[in-house]
Structure formats: C-alpha cells, structure tokens
Amino acid sequence: NAGVTQTPKFQVLKTGQSMTLQCAQDMNHEYMSWYRQDPGMGLRLIHYSVGAGITDQGEVPNGYNVSRSTTEDFPLRLLSAAPSQTSVYFCASSKDRGLGEQYFGPGTRLTVT
Amino acid sequence: DQQVKQNSPSLSVQEGRISILNCDYTNSMFDYFLWYKKYPAEGPTFLISISSIKDKNEDGRFTVFLNKSAKHLSLHIVPSQPGDSAVYFCAASAGVSSGTYKYIFGTGTRLKVLA
C-alpha cells in the first residue's frame, strides 16, 4: 500500500502559468481533499470530494479547480498561478466521508515568482 | 474568522514531563475533533480523536480532553519524549450535507521536548 502519493514534490512557476498537482490513493477511500499550509495559517481546505464525479469547495477555493473522474485520483489545477498561491499543498483521503482520520500525502512545495 | 484556534504557537517541555497542547473552537456544531502530528517535510499524521459525545479519549501516552461548555480541547502527552517534537494541529469536523463532513484545522503548536 503506497497510501496517498503526490507529485511533484517541488515546483516553481512563473505568474500566469498553469499546472496540475497530482494526488492518488490506493486505499479505495471515498473522501479526498486538498489543503494548503501557510505560515501562521495552519491547514486550509481548498476543495474536497466525496466520490467520483462529486466535488465541493472548501475555505479557499478561488484560483483552483478540481475534478474526480476515478476513486483513486484527485488532481488540483492552478489555472493562472499567482504569487499568493506560493504554499505547501497537501492531499488527503478518508474512508468516512470526512468524519474520522484523514491520511495525508507528503506534500508539494509550490513557489510562484 | 478562525473557527479553530491554537493560541500557543510554541511550547517547550522537559523530557519525561507532561506536555499540554490546547485548542479552542467557536462552532458548537462540530461533531468530531482530531489531533495530528507533523514533522518537517512530511504530511500530517493522525494521532488521536474524540467524538463530541465524549469528554475523554486515551491512547497510550496520549489523552484528549473535550470540554464542550468551554468549547475547549486539550492534548496531554505523558511522558513527553524527544521524538514527540513536532507541530501539532487540532482539527474539527463539521457536517455539511448528505452525511458529508469537512475539516477545519487550527494554526498549529510547535512542541519541542528537551532531552
């Protein structure tokens, strides 16, 4: 079991560029989510999904898109990167529709210049 | 508006003593509370949780206490060990719709256990 995997580990973008952060889990979990971690702000929920084809917004969804075509994958798309999106991004999954422990990936450190 | 607050950014404790990490929340509709531990350059890992219908949950050296009237929870680590040095996040789970929940995290407390 690989658990939750994220790629890439590091990424540098220029303002205005787009990219997709990849997230995959092999635990057959229904619930997947994306967070960003910023100094002094803790972990803030960007988007989450309770199953294939179902997504919803979290606290800070602006500038990000998600889709969930399979149970395993939950990619996060930055449409037009901005310096304010410089952060560490974590993907997580849970079997309990968001009630219960989440399993986190190792994170992607993104810098937007 | 920060619904889950960890007011102490850092805490230092001697090895073998008790570490107490605190968390306050504002939303009385939270159903479930969790603590996560995070080491540098890694994702958070689950530590312990408590349902809103309980006031205490224990797992080995870790105990979480919930005081609903004060909207306060705390994590006790006894005895503290150097390997416990990490950032600790509390999180609360709130129902959204159709049996779905989402988490709100606190800002974290950095615990340093001194040998």
Neighbours of A53 (CB within 10 A): 10
Q: Is the pLDDT of residue B97 over 80?
A: no
Best B39, B59, B98, B107 member to test A by mutation, with max A CBs in 10 Å, is: B107
Contacts of residue B6 in chain A, CB cutoff 8 Å? 42
Spatial distance between the Cα atoms of B66 and B55, rounded to a whole number of angstroms: 5
Residue from the list B9, B41, B46 with its beta carbon closest to the beta carbon of A102: B46
Spatial distance between the Cα atoms of A40 and B12, rounded to a whole number of angstroms: 18
Quick: pLDDT tens for A81-112.
Answer: 999 999 999 999 998 776 788 999 999 999 99
CB burial readout B16-54, b (16+ within 10 A) else e:
eeebbbbbbbeeeebebbbbbbbeeeebbebbbbbebee
Sort B69 into a burial class: Cβ within 10 Å, 0-12 / 13-18 / 19+: exposed
**Is residue A63 classed as helix, strand or coil in its secondary structure?**
coil
Strand partners, B35: B48, B90
A90 vs A1, which has greater pLDDT?
A: A90
Contacts of residue B107 in chain A, CB cutoff 8 Å? 40-42
Per the CB < 8 Å rule, is B42 touching A106? yes
Q: What is the dihedral of CA B84, B86, B87, B89, to 10 degrees?
A: -40
Using alpha carbons, select from B39, B44, B42, B32 the residue that is nearest to residue B91. B32
Question: Could you tell me what percentage of chain A is helix, strand and coil, using 3-state DSSP and rounding each to the nearest 5?
Answer: 5, 50, 45
- Within 13 A of A100's CA, how many CA atoms are on the CB side? 12
Q: Does B43 touch chain A (CB under 8 A)?
A: yes
Per the CB < 8 Å rule, is B101 touching A97? yes
Quick: pLDDT tens for A61-89.
Answer: 999 999 999 999 999 999 999 999 999 99
Q: Is the pLDDT of residue A39 over 70?
A: yes
Contact call for residues A104 and B48 (beta carbons, < 8 A)? no
pLDDT score of A65: 97
Contacts of residue B106 in chain A, CB cutoff 8 Å? 42
How far off is chain A from B79, nearest CA to CA, in Å?
24
Segment B46-60 shows an average pLDDT of 95
Quick: pLDDT tens for B9-47.
Answer: 999 999 999 999 999 999 888 989 999 999 999 999 999
pLDDT score of A79: 92
Please name the residue of chain A whose CA is at the shortest distance from the CA of residue B52. A99
Contacts of residue A101 in chain B, CB cutoff 8 Å? 34, 46, 49
Best A32, A43, A90, A103 member to test B by mutation, with max B CBs in 10 Å, is: A43
Of A15-29, B5-19, B94-108, the one with minimum mean pLDDT is B94-108
